[in-house]
Amino acid sequence: MIKPYDYQQKLIDETRQKLAEGNQGVLIVSPAGSGKSIVISEIARLTTLRGGRVLFIVHRQELVNQITESFKKQDVDLTKCTILTVGKVPGRFNKIPKPSLIITDESHHSRANTYQKIYEYYSDVPRLGFTATPWRMNGKGFKDIYPAMVEGPTVKWLIEHKKLAPYDYFSVNLADAGKLHFSGSGDFSNKSIEDALGKTIFGDVIKTWKKIANGRKTILYAHSRKYSAQIAQKFCDAGIKAVHCDSKTPAKERETIMSDFKAGKIKILCNVDLISEGFNVPDCSCVVMLRPTASLVLDVQQSMRCMRYMPNKRAVIIDHVGNCYRHGIPITPRQWALEDRKRKKRRKATDVNYPIKTCPSCFSVVPVQCRVCPVCGAEIPIEKSGMKEERNAKIVKIDQFRFVTDYKKTRYAQMNPNEAKTVEDLYAIAKARGYKPGWAYVQAKKRGMLR
C-alpha cells in the first residue's frame, strides 16, 4: 500500500469532510501528474473497508485497466468495486450491485448524456469527480453535479516541492493562425488546421526536435490520423524510431505500441486524441504540440504529459502552434469555479489571451508592455505585439516566471472591480490600473469588506 503525500491526504480529508456535511457531490481538482490515482484509490479503499461499494466510471478502457492496477496496489477490495467505461454502465443497471459511492475520473466529461443517465439512475448515491481542468468550451459549469469543490496545490508548488518535473517551454510557431477557423464543436476544424500548418513543415519539426530534444522519449500530438502517420514516417526516414497510434489502431497493436514506447523501443509516439488523460510514462520528457486548439482542457492535458516527476528530470515542451498564446503555460495561475462561465463573444484564432510577444530582432519572448527588448535592446513597434500570423520557425524559449507575473498584472488590469472577491483583489486592481491605494480602500469599505 502506498502512503499518500501530505497534500494528497489533505485532499482526501477535505473531500470526506464535504461528504460528511451532506454534499451530494464533491469535485476534486488537482493538476495533471499530481497523483490523483493515489487519492482515488485511497478513498475507494476507505469506502470498501467500511463495507461500502464503489462504482468507478471513466470514458476509456485504457483508464479502466490503469485504475484497476492502482486499486490493487492500494489494497482496495475489488470484490466491492465495479470499474467500467461509462458507455457500459446503463446496460448493466440491473446487474451491477448498487454502489454507496460513485467515482468519476476525468470529470470534465461528466456533463455528457451518458454520465447524466448514470447520475439520474443513482440519484440518491453520493458522487466524487476528479479532474485537472473543470472547464468546458461552452462555459457550462458543474454546480448541479458537484455542489462542492476541493482544490489541490498549484503546478508551481508541485514543481517547487519535487512532485512535478520542472520544464523548459519553447515556442517554435509554424502555424498561420490567420487560417484557423472554428468548427461546430467549438474547436478549430481539421481542414483549417491543415491550411494553417501547410505541407512543408515536417523538416522544421524534425530539425527543432534534434536541436533541443534529441534523444528524449517524446509524445507528439497531431490533429489527424493522416498527418500523424506522415510525420511519424518522416522521423523514421531521418533515422529516429517513431510510430503513429490512435483510437482506431487495433487494440492488440495499440497495446504493443504502448508497451514498446514505455520500454524505450520507440523514441517518438505520434498520436491523435489518444495520449492525454491518464497516460503515465514518467521517463517521457518531451512533448511536441502540432495541434492548435481552443480547448483549455486539451492544451493542459497534452502540454503537461511530459512533466511526471523523476529525480534530475527537466522536461521540454515544444509548441509549434502558438497554444501558449491562447491558454498560457503549465504554471499559469488558474481560477476554477463550479458555476457557469459568462459566455463571451468568440475570439479569433489570432487573438492573444496572454500578455507575451516576440521581439522582431532577437525573437525573445518578452512581456507585452515592453517597448524596448530587455535581451537585445531593440525597439519593439507596438504593431508587432501579439501572435504572429506568418509562420516563423525561430526557436523562442519562454521565460515562464516573467510570463506568469505579467499575466497576473494583465488579469487584474482587465478584471471588473465587481468581480473582486477580496480586499487583496481590489488593491491588485488598483496597482495594475495605476489607481491610488485609496481607491481600493473606498471600494472595500463600500462592500463591507473592512470592519
438 and 372 belong to one structural domain: no
CATH number at residue 174: 3.40.50.300
CA distance 72 to 89: 22
Of 59-63, 304-308, 329-333, 342-346, the one with minimum mean pLDDT is 342-346
Q: Distance of CA 396 to CAs 26, 105, 112, 328, 359, Å?
A: 41, 35, 39, 15, 10
pTM of the model: 0.82
Domain assignment present for 96: yes
108 and 245 belong to one structural domain: no
How many domains does the structure of the chain reveal?
3
212 and 96 belong to one structural domain: no
Which one of 220-234, 328-342, 356-370 scores highest in mean pLDDT?
A: 220-234
CA distance 69 to 122: 26
Domain assignment present for 222: yes
Mean pLDDT of the region 339-354: 71
Q: Is 186 left (phi over 0), alpha (psi -120 to 50) or beta?
A: left
139 and 226 belong to one structural domain: no
101 and 227 belong to one structural domain: no
The pLDDT assigned to 428 comes to 82
Query: What is the pLDDT confidence band of residue 449, given thresholds at 50, 70 and 90?
Result: confident
CA distance 271 to 274: 6
Mean pLDDT of the region 25-39: 95
The pLDDT assigned to 366 comes to 58
Residue 335 sits in which domain range? 167-403
360 and 427 belong to one structural domain: no
Per-chain mean pLDDT for the chain: 86
pLDDT digits (tens, 9 = 90+) for 191-207: 999 999 987 588 889 99
CA angle 356, 362, 364 (to 5 degrees): 30
Which DSSP letter does residue 98 get? P
Residue 410 above 60 pLDDT? Answer: no
Domain assignment present for 161: no
141 and 273 belong to one structural domain: no
For 332, residues 6+ apart whose C-beta sits below 8 A from its C-beta are 354, 403, 404, 407
Query: What is the pLDDT confidence band of residue 278, given thresholds at 50, 70 and 90?
Result: low
The three three-digit cell numbers of residue 231, written as one number: 510525420
